Amino acid sequence: MSRTPYPRRPELAGILNINKPSGMTSHDVVDAIRHAARIRRVGHAGTLDPMATGVLLVCLDQATRVSQYLVASDKVYHAQIRLGQTTDTDDAQGKVIDQQLVPAHLDMETLQKVLASFVGEIDQIPPRYAAIKQKGVPLYKMARQGIDVQTAPRRVAIHAIHLLGWRSPDLDVEVHCGPGTYIRALARDVGECLGRGGHLTGLIRLKSGNFSLEETTELDEVLRLLQPQGQSIADILWPLDAALAGMARMTVDIETEHRLRHGQQVPSCLPDLSEGRPVMRRVYAADGTLVAIVRYDERSGLWQPDTVFDLRPSR
């Protein structure tokens, strides 16, 4: 028996910046919004663990097609790390598997030197309980089955770590990092570097790309606005191109727009190839509607549609 698909709701095509509640998975948040909005195409752009709070970007309808650009953006976190205890999940939700005494002489200067050693491009081993997959199976599922998986290190970028406070055995840090960085793993590794072990006890995502915690909306408020009798959600819905702020734009005429919508290459001004490869542009119709993301094809000297959007109202 097939399910009746939800009708298109192009007015909801956009990005929600939600302050994820503690205790919910990112998938739980997506499910709640999908049910309230009555649209099937809903996804998040960057997982937050259940314990964590802060910026969770949820893409609705056509906005799911730009989620990759949001996922690839830098992140900023406020993290709380407890030294002297190692857990099997690298956070406070796990079982303590080792405990060490934190020396009284451990001072801010020593901590700052250790934290500084993690700034730059580093090889990081993901936590055993992580959503990434090995041979098609999430690591956390194998860990729950008692399977000890040897995970290869991944190259990640940590741009800055600021020590905000230290009161033994707990330290507060702010971390500015690239995509794919596990703050749980950072907490574990900082503790190991100090020879005392450590785990994450609190995490708030302060920024994801250009989206900040100050601009978030509480999940309960989002769900209320999505109700049929609720007020318009337009005031908190970010347009698709908010995910493309770092990409240059160009406007095309009606004929070129028509060709792009049919997947055809089109001519336009030649790009400066020194800006890096691949060269991408966001394309707008004359009325300001986002039409496509195009990629420059050096062989043909034309622009190839990479992603085409349909933001026109339902007929």
Q: List the catalytic residues.
A: 49
Q: Could you tell me the sign of the dihedral formed by the alpha carbons of 249, 250, 251, 253, in that order?
A: negative
Instruction: Kindly tell me the burial class for residue 127, based on how many C-beta atoms sit within 10 Å of its own C-beta (0-12, 13-18, 19 or more).
Output: buried
C-alpha 208/C-alpha 177 separation (Å) is 10
| C-beta separation of 180 from 154 below 8 A | yes
> What secondary structure does DSSP assign to 111-167, as a single string?
HHHHHHTT-EEEEEPPPSS-S-EETTEEHHHHHHTT----PPPEEEEEEEEEEEEEE
Q: Residue 63 has which token pair?
A: 């906005």
Q: Residue 228 has which token pair?
A: 């049929």
CA dist list (Å): 12 to 38, 44, 239, 312: 10, 15, 9, 12
C-alpha 178/C-alpha 156 separation (Å) is 7
| C-beta separation of 208 from 75 below 8 A | yes
